[in-house]
């Protein structure tokens, strides 16, 4: 069974940095695109970034471009989101999810999420 | 970016009811539409992919339909475990965007 477990969240001051990790198991990690999605407290879901199979292509939400970097280590079955110059509006639960493509594409499964709070 | 809307934003239902949630895209997205269920304190769970395909392990009381700009998620015979928030998501273009959600609670 495919599983994803996020870690690395916490409280950080505005302008600070945080590194989120996602450990994947139960599937061949290197065959899939991976994605980060976030959810501000009490709000809906917002796609943040995608990375392709080998890490050569990345795509970002406009508001995080230049501040966030998505990367992966296929040897370690690990996905990372490096977040710099954090803002209050980045406060959210960050979910790691696998992008499944077969005709269309969808996100499955999802991790339990890790909470990032940006506050002074 | 493609904007997704959902209606209603919330609804109340009783066990055994039939519930329909509507999702609309701001431009045509063929059948590139997925539905997720999210319970409090949990990550989302895929229910329906490509508008009408039931994800493995999801009960058959969940169904999806639609194409183009208008889509529906139907829960027939609502069960106690179905009280949750439901999101649609388009995968036609990047950024993939989600609807604002529909909260289904107990009447």
Nearest residue of A to residue B103 by CA position? A44
Distance from CA of A43 to the nearest CA of B (A): 8
Residues from chain B contacting residue A95 (CB–CB below 8 Å):
43-44
Distance from CA of A61 to the nearest CA of B (A): 7
Among candidates B31, B42, B94 on the partner chain, residue whose Cβ is nearest the Cβ of A50? B94
Using DSSP bridges, classify how beta strands B53-54 and B102-106 pair: parallel, antiparallel or unpaired: unpaired
pLDDT in tens, A66-78: 999 999 999 999 9
pLDDT in tens, A9-29: 999 999 999 999 999 999 999
Q: How do strand B102-106 and strand B85-90 relate by DSSP bridges?
A: antiparallel
Residue B97's pLDDT band (cuts 50, 70, 90): very high
Q: Which tens digit of pLDDT belongs to each residue from B7-51?
A: 999 999 999 999 999 999 999 999 999 999 999 999 999 999 999
Query: Using CA atoms, how far apart are residues B39 and B12, in angstroms rounded to an integer?
Result: 15
């Amino acid at each position: 069974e495919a599983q994803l477990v996020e870690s690395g969240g916490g409280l950080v001051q505005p302008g600070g940095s945080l590194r989120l990790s996602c450990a994947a198991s139960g599937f061949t990690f290197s065959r899939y695109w991976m994605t980060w999605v976030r959810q501000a407290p009490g709000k809906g879901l917002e796609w943040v970034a995608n990375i392709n199979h080998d890490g050569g292509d990345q795509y970002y939400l406009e508001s995080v471009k230049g501040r966030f970097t998505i990367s992966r280590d296929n040897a370690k079955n690990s996905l990372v989101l490096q977040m710099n110059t954090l803002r209050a509006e980045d406060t959210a639960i960050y979910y790691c999810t696998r992008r499944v493509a077969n005709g269309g594409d969808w996100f499955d499964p999802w991790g339990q999420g890790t909470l990032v709070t940006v506050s002074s | 970016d493609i904007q997704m809307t959902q209606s209603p934003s919330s609804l109340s239902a009783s066990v055994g009811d039939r519930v329909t949630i509507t999702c609309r895209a701001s431009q045509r997205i063929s059948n590139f539409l997925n539905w997720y269920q999210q319970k409090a304190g949990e990550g989302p769970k895929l229910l329906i992919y490509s508008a009408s395909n039931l994800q493995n392990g999801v009960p058959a009381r969940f169904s999806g339909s639609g194409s183009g700009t208008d889509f529906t998620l139907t829960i027939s015979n609502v069960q106690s475990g179905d009280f949750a928030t439901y999101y649609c998501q388009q995968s036609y273009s990047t950024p993939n965007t989600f609807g604002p959600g529909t909260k289904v609670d107990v009447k």
